[in-house]
Chains A and B, each alone.
Chain A
Amino acid sequence: MHINDGQLRAYLDGELNEPYSRLVRDHLATCPVCQAQLAQLQTRISRVDERLALLSPQPDDSRLAARPALLSFKSQTAMRLGKEKNRMFIRGNIFSNLFTQRWRPLVLGLIALALAVGLFTFPPAHQALSAFLSLFRIHQITILEVDSTRLSDLAGDSPLGKRLGQLLSDTVTVTKEPADPETVGSADEASQKAGFRVRLFKDNPSGAPPRLTVQDNAAFYFAVDLDRAQAILDETGYGHLKLPESIDGATISFDIPKAVSAAYGDCPTRERRDDDDDTDRLPPDAFKNCVILAQTPGPVVNAPPEVDMAPLAEVGLQILGMTPEEARNFSQAVDWTSTLVVPIPRNGAQYKQVQVDGVTGNLIYRRADDGMPERYTILWVKDDLVYALAAIGDPEAGLTLANSLQ
């Protein structure tokens, strides 16, 4: 019977209490196997320490000193307090405000869909919901069909939506405000600015090169107040749903990295959109040769380890219309830390999984209806980047394009 590695390690670190420490020492005295193992562990520790030592600051690094740092902190805090007063206190609802011009880049980053994707497949309310749920580092995308009447419960105008926005907006601190999007001249320039390799189609559909835009990154965080959040659920008729205790006081932060969009053909331009949310009401053939390709590393949410996202997700899913049973099953099947869940209204669009760009992706397709032509969005994740391709017309054309990315 030998000593396991964990205990040996603790022993080496002097972290093993009596009587275990003595027991280990006695055993080692007579056991060559464990002695060898101990030596091996010790060697590895030294090696790793040596390598990590390379990363340390120089011992004479002045920034190590705490008092000067405190002075820096104080003087910068004065500045911050000034900013805090002007911070993003959103009138109305955080979701509806996401659609003002300033924050459109944030939406793009948040849900990793080209803004025009919303144009083509979802009305803004649904997009806001996607934004809310898609707050994780993305490894895969799951499409969730929901009853569209329930979707509106979480959309901007519903009582719950408004109160949720209020809850968030009172405590949101923006640590990085996105600058205005920037048009660039080449994929190289876009890659340089965005910090990842931008891929484009091998050949330009409709002949002309795309208009490339780099959307700036953003970061913000808020502290969750469990009482208030539960009160909101209580008041809006969802009192039977209990939020997990673990979220109380948790600081949840969001990092939305830069994103790049490539617009081929005649596409709606930023200047036209402004605060106009009539994005559904486009003339039918206005943008029929427009193809939009968006790519982004996907947003990252940081929640403290004690925050258990699964029960939180279950609450959200029940609000969307699932039974507690369904919510639990769905929630357990999804890795909430790496899945982008895109809810689509049951009677609004069709979707299916497709093979695209060498991976499994999702195709969301809407038939021609209500004056709008048929349109689609293809979503996939490859090499830690989320891609979205949206266009009017036959999805097959889109798949072909997506498969030509380089």
Chain B
Amino acid sequence: MTLTTDQPRASSGKTHQAEASPAMTSQQFEAIFLEHWPRIYRTLVQLVGDPDEAEDLALETFWRLYFHRPDKQRETKLAGWLYRVATHLGLNALRAWKRRQRYEAEAGLFDSVADPVESFAADEERSRVRQALGEMKPRQTQLLILRYSGLSYRELAEALNVSVNSVGALLVRAEREFEQRYRRLNPTGE
């Protein structure tokens, strides 16, 4: 399968081939894919937990790049776009997960989403971490997850559309917020 370069988009839009967006060759797309896949996938696992779902969402992220690339040429801006889309998808899934958790906790069905392979304690803690993340403002959650994924301040700034100089302070705030929420969910713990 090769990606072909685009002609101007058909205005009627009826049965045009969904081709790669202008000015991106198949090599370029593949290079971007190969470079960013591991971190995108990792980010999504951190957000949604289930590796299969994370994989689906990661693929979805790259499809959006493939079909509807934004008009941003620079590599770093593109990476920022990718991370934004990925974390949006992940946060949506996290929200749905959170709702289901709340419902199942209320219905006395807590632990039904536990992975039977892992120990109960580790699973509970993972659940708490994810819940704390889910309770925070989405942008703070994004920031923490992406930072943990190893993005530099410049990359974070691109991904979240903030100035590089503000990243430090934003991180401190986000971490403080995360701790507060985590503690609230874990009163018997440390």
Contacts and interface: CB of A to CB of B under 8 A. Distances in A.
Interface residues of B, number: 74
Contact of B176 (A44, A52, A171, A223): A44
Interface string A70-86: 10111011101100110
A9 B145 contact: no
Contacts, number: 172
Given A57-B45, A170-B12, A195-B99, A77 B63 contact: yes
A89 B12 CA distance: 10
A197 B106 contact: yes
Contacts of B107: 188, 191, 197
B100 A55 contact: no
Contact of A196 (B1, B99, B144, B178): B99
Interface in A39-57: 41, 44-45, 47-49, 51-57
Interface residues on A, range: 35 or more
B156 to A, nearest CB: 10
A64 interface: yes
Interface string A171-213: 1010100000000000010010001110000000000000000
Interface string A232-251: 00000000000000001111
Given A54-B125, A173-B67, A64 B168 contact: no
> Taking chain B's interface residues, is the majority helix, strand, or loop, or is none over half, making it mixed?
helix
B93 to A, nearest CB: 9
Interface-central residue, B103, B106, B139, B176, by most chain A CB under 10 Å: B103
- Shortest beta-carbon contacts, A-B, top 3: A6-B169, A170-B13, A10-B168
Interface of A: 4-10, 13, 15-16, 41, 44-45, 47-49, 51-57, 61, 63-67, 69-70, 72-74, 76-78, 80-81, 84-85, 89, 169-171, 173, 175, 188, 191, 195-197, 221, 223, 248-251, 253, 255, 257, 297, 300, 302, 304-306, 384
Interface of B: 1, 11-15, 17-18, 30, 33-35, 37-38, 41-42, 45-47, 49, 51, 54-55, 58-60, 62-64, 66-68, 70-72, 81, 84-85, 88, 92, 95-96, 99-100, 102-103, 106-107, 122, 125-126, 129-130, 139, 144-145, 148, 152-153, 160-161, 165-172, 175-176, 178-179, 182
